[in-house]
Amino acid sequence: MIIVLTPNCKEEHIDHISEHLHKLDLKIHKSRGEDHMILGVIGDISRVDIDKIKGFDGVANIIRISESYKQCSRSFHPSDSIIHVGNVPFGRKEIAIIAGPCSVENEKMIKKLSRELTRSGAHALRGGAFKPRSSPYAFQGLEKEGLKYLKEASQQTGVPCVSEVMAISDIDLFCEYVDAIQVGARNMQNFSLLKALGTTQKPIILKRGISATVEEWLNAAEYIVNGGNPNVILCERGIRTFESSTRFTLDLSSVPVIKKLSHLPVIVDPSHAMGKRDLVLSMARAAVAAGADGIMVEVHDDPNNALSDGPQSLYPKQFRQLMKELQVISQVIGRGLLRL
């Protein structure tokens, strides 16, 4: 439920409304739009006497939110949210780029590659340490050691880092080593994990599940936000369809759809959707044109010998060229790449 306040609403009026609603065990979220201020009401509103609230001083209107993802909805929070991963903002006019290997394979590799990526303009580093693989015999990651190497690379280059968590028991470890925690597509509806991440204040990059609708994706984000952590960045990474020419079908229409429905920033991962590096380049360019707030792309200095996802990983030279192209495309649509 949204309570729209009058332009001249006084602070004591807001306090009176809030006190009344708190007695009904409801949570209040204040949000200021361009023309007015609203109070978002969270909880069981069946006991609320709507007519009584309408009679309070300072109340202009009351609107029921039809979406199940209350706090993530644009209705609840009209202005765009800006989520910071370290010193890198997502959701502003400028576009941020996250780049790195699928897996942290060893200390020398991640540190050398991180230096190359940041020289090319990458704003944040990515690297898997706990790897969810389809086969139990595939490389599973270096785990804590991988996180340690990633953090050291992040500190040496001066940019934040991102890695994927798989278990509730590892959350504290991730909070120690990374600037943002990624939830992979396989765990998008792992509600116990989402609830646990809601108790932290660490930024969460929530990837869309391979068969999830946009509404299901936003409801997954709602679990995190409702737990007390508003720092969620959505990541489109392709969905499973009948098409087999690419690994998944990259649903770029989700970007403007999300922008209409939610205030949360949305980025795109073309690497996992395409599965082939030549296609990754095209879809990264298209994602920026579609209005994405950022791109997450995989890069490896020796893709042919990568321990995971080599065929979809760009060469550093390709990444440098991509950054130049994204700068041009982003300027055409009135944005530009982030400058730190």
Cα end-to-end distance, the chain, whole Å: 39
Distance, CA of 129 to CA of 117 (rounded, Å): 19
Q: Which domains does the chain have, with CATH numbers?
A: 2-63 (3.30.70.1140), 83-332 (3.20.20.70)
pLDDT digits (tens, 9 = 90+) for 135-187: 777 777 899 999 999 999 999 999 999 999 999 999 999 999 999 999 999 99
Q: Who has greater pLDDT, 138 or 1?
A: 1
Six token digits for residue 98: 């996250």
Residue 6 carries which DSSP code? P
Judged against a pLDDT cut of 80, whether residue 246 lies above it is answered with yes
Q: What mean pLDDT is reported for the chain?
A: 94
Q: Is 6 exposed, middle or buried (0-12, 13-18, 19+ CB in 10 A)?
A: middle
Decide: 206 and 217 in contact? Cβ < 8 Å. yes
- The pTM of the full predicted model, rounded to 2 decimals, is 0.91
Q: State what percent of residues in the chain have pLDDT above 70.
A: 99
Taking phi over 0 as left and psi of -120 to 50 as alpha, with beta for the rest, 74 belongs to: alpha
pLDDT of residue 265: 98
Chain centre distance of CA 234: 3
Confidence of residue 286 (pLDDT cuts 50, 70, 90): very high
